[in-house]
């Protein structure tokens, strides 16, 4: 046992003001979440209910095992765009009959459940997670197909959906489609490509072309039921494997299908877990309101890992990056956490070696981001900061143990990459409301732009317009700041969701359990890097 001790005083003014700032940031998300939960708005919801139908989230809640946790993914997809925040689909990892599954549920009250570019991106992300972690996929389908005005952005890439579904099936990852309503045209291939298909009496409608289009194409007069009703597909076409009498029956059958998958997790079972010795609640006050003020990530680790028990690796070397071993909900992890923002050569080499050790121990890695970049300046360039940064980025790129990233504060510049940013395919990436991610800090970026402008003016012999520069700096700073915010990044699907810092342990536990569906195999051939 190497128990971490806290230096934090929850009664100090710093802590209090940090906690207030974090609470404000969390509260700032409430409005966005409320919009997500509104679905298609009061009228559309009322109309939907009048037909005796459940909303997407109601279907999900009924499908899930009672009292089991559910991690909704990308809830703020399409934030800040013209599309409904949430991207008219619910995705997440939930437990059905004791099996962790990826749930994809269309929200039929938002534009008939049609898919816009963010919908497809969100579904693709969900299917990626399902494939990497071998999670059975349950699609709760009720979608009018593509949001036609946006077809140019989804028609061509959208085929990936069907390709992915059938590849999941080929990889032995079960796919289940419960068809609650329309699943027509392109959507008809979702049941078509799923292992198990449940259709609902007088509700499911699965055809390539509806009566109007059929009439246009061939002159044939037809109706919905004969073209694609549940009765027809269950008795005649054979597309439906199961016939449900109503929505609850479809959910019941869906649960029975999962129960009969005989699904066995093949990853290592977790050790008995122990709660951290320090309170999760304190995580509200760890991150300073101003990201320029560094904080000790051990304060976070102590409130996230089992028993606050953390064995640090190279504690005295490259101290701007904390590395070490711990367990979260019984699952072993190696943790890399930024301590003072900047990564120097020593930190980069320490990280590369630590990543290699985790691979030889088949241990997942957790990256806790608060980094402003690799160190710049003559001294550091000459000491080979690029070489050492590359070493770290190489190690993280070719590491094959699962990676988890949590953006706690800053995640700027190339060290976002070194700390396994989105482009480096971490299995999961979550952000705290206090996070910022961009190529560099907004003020620095605006300052750089200003210096470049001033130099250009000087070179051209022009007089530098200070007033215009100030306006430009403010504008750029504002834009970059806004675009580095977690809501913006979440909207673009650059993370898997913003989480309450106090939920970090729970979210990571869920992620690690999903990961443990398959055995972990580290990269071979790294050999020892003694750096």
Partner 1 sequence: MAPTTIHKVLVANRGEIARRVFHSCRERGIDTVAVYSTPDAGAPFVAEADTAVHLPGSSAAQTYLRGDLIIAAALRAGADAIHPGYGFLSENGGFARAVEEAGLLWIGPSPEAMDAMGSKIESKSLVAAGGVPVLTKLDPATVREAQLPVLIKASAGGGGRGMRIVRAVADLPAELATARAEAASAFGDDTVFCEPYLEAGHHVEVQLMADTYGTVWAVGERECSIQRRHQKVVEEAPSPLVERTPGMREKLFAAAVAAAKAVNYVGAGTVEFLADESGRFYFLEMNTRLQVEHPVTECTTGLDLVALQLDVAAGAALADCVPGGAERDGLAPAPHGAAIEVRLYAEDPAAEWAPQTGMVRAFDFDGLAAAFALPVRERGLRLDSAVEAGSAVSIHYDPMLAKVIAWAPTRTEAARLLSRALVRARIHGVRSNRDLLVNILRHSAFLAGETDTSFLATHGLDTLAAPVAGPQEERLAALAAALAGAALRRQQAAVLGGLPGGWRNLRSLPQRATLAGPAGDHEISYALTRAGLQAEGFAGVVVVHLDPAVVSLDVDGLVRTWTVAHHDTATGTVLEVDSDGGAVTFAEVVRFPDPSLAVPDGSLTAPMPGAVVVVHVAAGDLVTAGQPLLVLEAMKMLHTISASADGTVVELLVAVGATVNVGTVLAVVEDTNE
Cβ-contact 352, 306 below 8 angstroms: no
Q: For residues 85-144, which are near partner 1 according to CB under 8 A?
A: 95, 98-100
Cβ-contact 348, 380 below 8 angstroms: no
Quote the tokens at residue 167: 């590849």
Contacts of 316 (CB under 8 A, 6+ apart): none
Of 5-13, 143-151, 248-256, 357-365, which segment contacts partner 1 by CB under 8 A?
248-256
499 binds partner 1 (CB under 8 A): yes
245 binds partner 1 (CB under 8 A): yes
Locate tokens 């003014």: which residue?
13
What does the H/E/C string look like for 47-59? HHHHCCCCCHHHH
User: From the list 510, 515, 520, 531, which residue makes contact with partner 1 (rule: CB under 8 A)?
Assistant: 510
CA dihedral 440, 445, 448, 450 (to 10 degrees): 180
CB 244, min distance to partner 1, A: 8
206 binds partner 1 (CB under 8 A): no
User: From the list 513, 515, 522, 526, which residue makes contact with partner 1 (rule: CB under 8 A)?
Assistant: 513
In degrees and rounded to multiples of 5, residue 88 shows phi and psi of 50, 30
Report the C-alpha gap between 508 and 328 in whole angstroms: 7
Cβ-contact 56, 247 below 8 angstroms: no
Helix or strand (DSSP H, E) at 320: none
CB 123, min distance to partner 1, A: 18
User: From the list 507, 515, 520, 531, which residue makes contact with partner 1 (rule: CB under 8 A)?
Assistant: 507
Locate tokens 């800090």: which residue?
441
Among residues 85 and 322, whose Cβ is nearest to partner 1? 85
500 binds partner 1 (CB under 8 A): yes
Cβ-contact 386, 394 below 8 angstroms: no
Report the C-alpha gap between 495 and 422 in whole angstroms: 7
Report the C-alpha gap between 332 and 362 in whole angstroms: 9
Closest CA to 39 of 63, 57, 62: 57
414 binds partner 1 (CB under 8 A): no
483 binds partner 1 (CB under 8 A): no
Quote the tokens at residue 522: 């580290």
Q: For residues 317-336, which are near partner 1 according to CB under 8 A?
A: 329-330
Size of the site for partner 1 (CB under 8 A): 43
CB 65, min distance to partner 1, A: 7
497 binds partner 1 (CB under 8 A): yes
CB 79, min distance to partner 1, A: 13
Closest CA to 383 of 349, 355, 417, 413: 349
Among residues 246 and 469, whose Cβ is nearest to partner 1? 246
Among residues 14 and 246, whose Cβ is nearest to partner 1? 246
Cβ-contact 531, 352 below 8 angstroms: yes
228 binds partner 1 (CB under 8 A): no
289 binds partner 1 (CB under 8 A): no
User: From the list 14, 61, 132, 469, which residue makes contact with partner 1 (rule: CB under 8 A)?
Assistant: 61
Q: Is 227 helix (H, G, I), strand (E, B) or coil?
A: helix
Helix or strand (DSSP H, E) at 332: strand 331-338
User: From the list 65, 425, 469, 481, which residue makes contact with partner 1 (rule: CB under 8 A)?
Assistant: 65
Closest CA to 23 of 301, 432, 497: 432
DSSP 386-405: HHHHHHHHHHHHH--S-EEE
User: From the list 251, 301, 489, 520, which residue makes contact with partner 1 (rule: CB under 8 A)?
Assistant: 251
248 binds partner 1 (CB under 8 A): yes
Among residues 249 and 483, whose Cβ is nearest to partner 1? 249
Quote the tokens at residue 150: 């946006």
Q: For residues 27-56, which are near partner 1 according to CB under 8 A?
A: 33, 36-37
Of 104-112, 205-213, 462-470, 495-503, which segment contacts partner 1 by CB under 8 A?
495-503
443 binds partner 1 (CB under 8 A): no
CB 95, min distance to partner 1, A: 6
CB 521, min distance to partner 1, A: 21
Q: Catalog residues that contact partner 1 under the rule CB under 8 A.
A: 33, 36-37, 57-58, 61-62, 65-72, 75, 95, 98-100, 245-246, 248-249, 251-252, 255, 265, 270, 273, 281, 329-330, 497, 499-500, 502-503, 506-507, 509-510, 513
């Amino acid at each position: 046992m190497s128990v971490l001790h806290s230096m934090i005083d929850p009664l100090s003014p710093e802590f209090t003001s940090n906690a207030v700032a974090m609470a404000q940031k969390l509260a700032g998300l409430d409005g966005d979440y409320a919009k997500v939960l509104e679905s298609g708005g009061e009228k559309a919801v009322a109309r939907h209910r009048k037909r005796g139908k459940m909303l997407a989230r109601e279907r999900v809640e009924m499908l899930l095992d009672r009292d089991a946790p559910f991690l909704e993914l990308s809830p703020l997809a399409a934030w800040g765009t013209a599309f409904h925040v949430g991207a008219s689909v619910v995705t997440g990892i939930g437990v059905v009959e004791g099996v962790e599954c990826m749930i994809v549920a269309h929200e039929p009250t938002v534009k008939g459940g049609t898919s816009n570019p963010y919908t497809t991106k969100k579904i693709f992300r969900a299917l990626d997670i399902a494939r990497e972690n071998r999670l059975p996929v349950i699609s709760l389908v009720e979608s009018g197909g593509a949001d036609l005005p946006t077809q140019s952005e989804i028609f061509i890439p959208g085929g990936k959906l069907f390709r992915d579904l059938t590849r999941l099936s080929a990889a032995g990852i079960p796919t289940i489609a419960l068809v609650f309503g329309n699943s027509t045209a392109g959507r008809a291939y979702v049941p078509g490509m799923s292992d198990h298909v449940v259709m609902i009496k007088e509700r499911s409608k699965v055809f390539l072309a509806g009566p109007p289009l059929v009439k246009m194409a061939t002159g044939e007069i037809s109706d919905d039921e004969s073209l694609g009703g549940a009765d027809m597909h269950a008795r005649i076409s054979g597309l439906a494997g199961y016939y449900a009498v109503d929505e609850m029956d479809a959910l019941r059958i869906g649960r029975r299908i999962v129960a009969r998958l005989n699904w066995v997790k093949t990853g290592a079972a977790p050790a008995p877990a122990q709660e951290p010795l320090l309170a999760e609640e304190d995580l509200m006050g760890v991150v300073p309101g101003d990201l320029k003020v560094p904080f000790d990530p051990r304060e976070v680790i102590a409130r996230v890992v089992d028993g606050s028990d953390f064995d640090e690796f190279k504690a005295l070397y490259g101290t701007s990056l904390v590395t070490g071993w711990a367990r979260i909900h019984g699952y072993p992890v190696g943790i890399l956490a930024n301590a003072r923002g900047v990564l120097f050569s020593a930190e980069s080499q320490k990280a590369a070696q630590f990543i290699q050790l985790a691979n030889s121990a088949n241990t997942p890695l957790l990256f806790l981001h608060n980094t402003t970049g690799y160190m710049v300046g003559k001294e550091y360039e000459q000491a080979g900061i690029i070489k050492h940064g590359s070493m770290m980025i190489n190690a993280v790129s070719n590491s094959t143990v699962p990676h988890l990233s949590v953006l706690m504060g800053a995640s700027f510049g190339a060290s976002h990459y070194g700390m396994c940013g989105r482009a480096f395919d971490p299995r999961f990436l979550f952000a705290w409301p206090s996070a910022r991610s961009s190529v560099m800090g907004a003020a620095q970026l605006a300052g750089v732009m200003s210096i470049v402008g001033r130099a250009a003016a000087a070179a051209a012999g022009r007089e530098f317009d200070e007033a215009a520069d100030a306006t430009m700096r403010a504008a750029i700073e504002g834009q970059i700041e806004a675009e580095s915010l977690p809501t913006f990044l979440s909207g673009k699907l650059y993370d898997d969701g913003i989480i309450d810092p106090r939920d970090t342990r729970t979210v990571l536990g869920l992620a690690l359990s999903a990961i443990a569906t398959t055995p972990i195999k580290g990269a071979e051939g790294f050999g020892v890097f003694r750096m």
